Amino acid sequence: MLPAGVRRLFRLPTSPKRVAREVDDELRFHLDEKTEALVRTGWEPAAARAEAERQFGDVRRARETLVRLGTALAERRTRAEWWEGALADLKTALRGMMRSPGVTATVVVMLGLGIGGAAAMYGLLDRLLLRVGPGIEAPGELRRLYINSYNRLEGIRASTPWLDAEQIVGLQKAWGLPVASAASWTAGLGGPAGERIPIAMVSGSYFAVLGARPARGRRLATVDDQAGAAPAAVISYGLWRRAFAGDRSALGRTLIVDSLHLTIVGVAAPGFSGLSPDRVDAWVPMQVAGPALIGNGLNWNQSLAGFDAVVRLTGASRPEQLSSEAWGVYRSHRTAGELILTSDIGGPGDSAISAQLAPVNPGARPGALSDTVRLSLIVGGLALMLCLIAVANATNLLLLRAVRRRRETAVRLALGVSRGRLVRLGLIESMIVALGGAGAAMLFATWSGVVLQKLIVRQEWQRGIVDARVLAVATVIGLLIGVVTGLVPGWQASRPEAIAALKSGARSEGAPSRLRSGLVALQAALTLLLLVGSALYLRSFLHARDVDFVVAADHLVSVDLERAAGRPDARGVSTDVVQQIAADVRRVPGVAAIARATIAPIYGMGGSPLRIEGVASFAVGMHGPFYSEVDSAFFGVAGLPLRRGRGFTQADVSAAAPVAIVNDAFAQRFWPGQNAIGKCLYIAWSGAADASACRQVVGVVSHYRLRVDDDEPSLSYYVPLGDRWNDGTRALVVRTSAPAQDVEGGIARVVRARLPDAAPEAVMALSDITSSELDPWRSGTTLFALFAGLAVILATGGLYAVVAFSVAQRRREMAIRVAIGAPAKELARLVLRMALRPVTLGLLIGLGLALWLVRFIAPLLFHTTARDPVALGAAVAALFVAAGLACIGPAASAIGADPREALQAE
Amino acid sequence: MATDLDLLRGTLDMLVLKALLWGPRHGYAVTEWIHQTSKDELAVEDGALYGALHRLAARGFLAAEWGLSEHNRKAKYYSLTAKGRRELRAREVTWARYARAVDRIVSTA
């Protein structure tokens, strides 16, 4: 290949037209010379010409050949030259980047953070709102049954009905259509690992209705879902790979879940998890698995009410008719008492009003959005904002660099480098940045997918939030944005006005350009939004944390002996075993004290028929009154201090005079302004000798709240617990000296040693319950704080870049100011003013937006008004502090400007 | 026949390269030199020689440049590049060996 220099030297043709002209010139010269030579030897001119052409051969053919050769050569040269130029540009771009590695790295990181975060959020929203999971045929035809219920607080609300197996059978009969139903369950997987896996009990037509095709084997069919059918199961693709190493021979082998031996008949398609994204490892027919897993002693098909109902609409089916039939089935299986009881308790009672069929895709779910979806929407919005901030910053930094290089660009233009070539240089630079940004975006998207799963979804999904598709989207968007952000500065720098920069010595332009200021203002506005969100959530979290449960939950472990005994149909644990367990638990390191009760505080609540002295009637509501039997150690162990009177003694159990203890809230509600001690309660519990006997109140203890967002504490009354427990509900309440979570495991081990069937939730640190109640605010705060922190860092960096650049441009002016004796304070103020103008503008916009947008998170806050002045003030203050920090460096540089140095530099 | 054509082309190329060994010439001068040196015994058309010139230029054996002829006409001058010189040397060696071999066969009575 000829180097470009040689081409210019010889002025070789590039266009096909020029090629043809040059060939013509060359041939004409040859024929003219030849003719003249012949004429000189005595030929007639006309004859000489003819002889010259004869000697040449076929002139027309020769010309065609030469033109073809020349054109091909020219094309090859142009291509080579383009590549050569691109390579040179690449080298120039890399050199330029190496000169300011900080800027390049920052831009790459910003793009990665912004786009990666946005992509992960897209993945989450896609799964939560937009799309039904994979492997389902024509999801648009599927309809899910919803029950509309009325609720005083929220109005009419549609919810998935919790149907039992009997109702599913009833529905199938009423509709005359196959119904897809599933209920999730956790079961122990047989084998050495003994892990517990999520499974789904499904109707026989489940796979057929969803149109799900298995990856291997067959799907479950109606014949599998009949009492007495051979036990069959379809396992998930994930379990197949994990437990069977993807071996084809897994089909026909036995899957053991709990006590159930199932033959594996199929492997579901990769990623298939039915209509919900939650992880499922195996699908088992409900008529076969139900009796075995739940226990035949109980009426299993009425006690497991966890099924949904999904039907495929065909052309002939009429949704209204199906709804009304479903409503009939739903009602007929609900006892009248159940419906009345719930609406009667005085709290925000529910009473179902109708059924409806709605599309299954998550976005079409009728009624209000769930908290998860709402939080995801908010965080999605935030991620998008962060993406905008990052992109604005990246553009700003690249713009600044382009301006800094204006002299260089002007020299290039003056040397005759074409504008297209300059844009290409910009494009190559931005491609490098974009590739880096896309890579960083992939990394960050993967990471934030894991974080979002933990913080928002809080359970495992069949497929992670960030899959190959999301990563591909992130990469493409990263590339696009990278190219665009790179092109804007490149275009700006190549404007003809740039020539002027040569003459002015690049020292004009005192104020930052409007575009740059605008970007800074935008960042300030978005950052303020995120700060306001964090502040509001933090306030909510602090309020929620300060809620006084009174019960010292971080040092209490509940041992639910009913659950520990295994299946609920077991007749309970003998008193001997309970005493042995109590003795074992007492020996576990970290256990301080132990008490017995019918139920542990916070963990649950009990009830009994009750009449209260001096109270004509009362309704049992969400806050009680709740009934417990407790031993003499209970109040001390649970940390419920005695307010008045006395606690229980060992003598109370057998004493002739029955006694009771109530809590503060109980006393205030029923006997306001009176002394509760000495009042009578009449309790008709099964062990009571005489329900009409007065049970005298001997003490008043502190109350506690059952749930963090309860507005009022629960009402409780307690009676002494006898040695012989005659009812299945019973618990050990254990007080620990170390944090409850650390001791929980040790206690669970000794319980399991005596009762191997113990359910995992039988031993539970109460702090798990109280702390999970704080989760919405904790994760909201974490999310907002995470994004706000990132936004502050990004925006501070961006502002610093703009201010530092402006100061550098006005260095001469600063030096002159120093020379004529401007005090440092004056210069610092000058720099600060440069920063504050765009920041204040952004602040005003952000504040306006925040006041308008908070309505969307208002329902998720706890005891915090959405326009909480403290939160707003804190956010504004934080923004100004960030702006101040961004100014420190540039201000110091302005104050330190040396007049001599600055003037000599020009 | 492809081999014949290749042989002919290879020979032409060598002649053209040889014609430029002593300095840049325009196309007409190259054809004249070949006709004169061979005493017109090689019946080669000028058009074919131009084809060879252009092909060699495209392969980088020759460099081309527009200049003025002895009669002040615009003419395209060709000169050997370093690569062209190496090519010529290689072809001369091959040609000599080939010619000797053919000669040996033909002169064996």
Q: Right CATH number for B2-107 from 1.10.10.10, 3.40.50.2300, 1.10.357.10, 3.30.750.24?
A: 1.10.10.10
Contacting residues for A424 by C-beta, under 8 A, at least 6 apart: A85, A86, A89
Q: Tell me whether residues A69 and B51 touch, CB distance under 8 A.
A: yes
- Flag if A34 and B46 touch (Cβ within 8 Å): yes
* pLDDT tens-digit series, residues A645-699: 888 888 777 666 788 899 888 898 888 888 888 888 887 665 555 567 788 899 9
Cα A877–Cα A882–Cα A885 angle in degrees, nearest 5: 125
Q: Give yes or no for A72 touching B (CB within 8 A).
A: yes
Calculate how close chain B gets to A85, using CA atoms only, in Å. Answer: 20
- List of chain A residues whose C-beta atoms are within 8 Å of the C-beta of residue B60: 1-2
Instruction: Say yes or no: A25 contacts chain B, CB-CB below 8 A.
Output: yes
- Identify residue A606 by its one-letter amino acid code: G
Is the separation of the CB atoms in A148 and A356 below 8 Å? yes
Highest mean pLDDT: which range of A248-262, A304-318, A891-905, B17-31 = B17-31
Q: Does the beta-carbon distance from B50 to A55 stay under 8 Å?
A: no
Per-position DSSP letters for A585-646, written without gaps between them: HHHSTTEEEEEEESS-TTT------EEETT------BTTB-EEEEE-TTHHHHHT--EEEE-
Tokens standing for residue A22: 């040059």
Q: What is the mean pLDDT of residues A530-537?
A: 87
Q: In B, residues 1-40, which contact A (CB 8 Å cutoff)?
A: 26-28, 31-32
Contact A59 B75 (CB under 8 A): no
CA nearest neighbour of A661 among A605, A699, A617, A613 = A699
Q: Is B81 an 8 Å CB contact of chain A?
A: no
Instruction: Give the separation between CA A774 and CA A709, rounded to whole angstroms.
Output: 9
Structure token pair of residue A351: 């009473």
Judge whether A829 is closer than 8 Å to chain B, CB to CB: no
pLDDT at residue B28 in the model: 92
Interface check for A657 against chain B (CB to CB < 8 A): the answer is no
Cis ω before A609 (30° cut-off from 0): no
Specify burial of residue A525 (Cβ count, 10 A radius: 0-12, 13-18, 19+). buried
User: In this complex, do B54 and A69 lie within 8 Å of one another by their Cβ atoms?
Assistant: yes
How far is Cα A806 from Cα A809, in angstroms, rounded to an integer? 5
Q: What is the mean pLDDT of residues A354-358?
A: 81
A23, A63 in Cβ contact below 8 A?
A: yes
Distance of CA A157 to the CA centre of its chain: 25
Burial class (CB in 10 A: 0-12, 13-18, 19+), B51: buried
CB contact under 8 A, B75 and A29: yes
DSSP state of A90: H
**Interface test mutation site (partner B, options A7, A21, A53, A55, max chain B beta carbons within 10 A):** A55
Environment class of B99 (CB within 10 Å of its CB; exposed 0-12, middle 13-18, buried 19+):
exposed
Give the residue-averaged pLDDT of A259-273. 90
**Is the per-residue pLDDT at A344 higher than 60?**
no
CB A595 within 8 A of CB A733: yes
> Quick check: A56 and B45 CB within 8 A?
yes
Tell me: the pLDDT tens digits for A825-851?
888 888 888 888 888 999 999 999 888
- Given pLDDT bands bounded at 50, 70 and 90, which one contains residue A9? very low
Give the minimum alpha-carbon distance from A14 to chain B in angstroms, rounded to a whole number.
Answer: 13
Closest CA to A861 of A708, A705, A704, A706: A708
* pTM, 2 dp: 0.61
CA distance A753 to A773: 31
CB-hemisphere CA count at 13 Å for A26?
Answer: 33
pLDDT tens per residue across span A608-629: 677 888 877 776 666 778 888 8
Query: Which residues touch B71 (CB under 8 Å, ≥6 apart)?
Result: A33, A36
pLDDT at site A48: 93
Question: Would you call A900 exposed, middle or buried from its count of C-beta atoms within 10 A (0-12, 13-18, 19+)?
Answer: exposed
**Residue A499: per-residue pLDDT:** 52
Whether A268 and A199 have beta carbons less than 8 Å apart is answered as no
Give the separation between CA A470 and CA A475, rounded to whole angstroms.
9
How far from A840 is each of A518, A524, A645, CA to CA, in Å? 11, 8, 62
- Note whether A12 contacts B: Cβ–Cβ < 8 A: yes
Interchain CB distance below 8 Å, A10 and B76: no
CB contact under 8 A, A30 and B57: no
CB contact under 8 A, A34 and B65: no
Q: Where are the alpha helices (DSSP H) in B1-109?
A: 2-19, 27-37, 46-58, 82-107
pLDDT digits (tens, 9 = 90+) for A80-102: 888 888 888 888 888 877 877 77
Cβ neighbours of B27 in A, within 8 Å? 26, 29-30
Mean pLDDT throughout A185-193?
74
Q: Chain A contact for B69, CB < 8 A?
A: yes
Question: Contact at 8 Å (CB) between A426 and A489?
Answer: yes
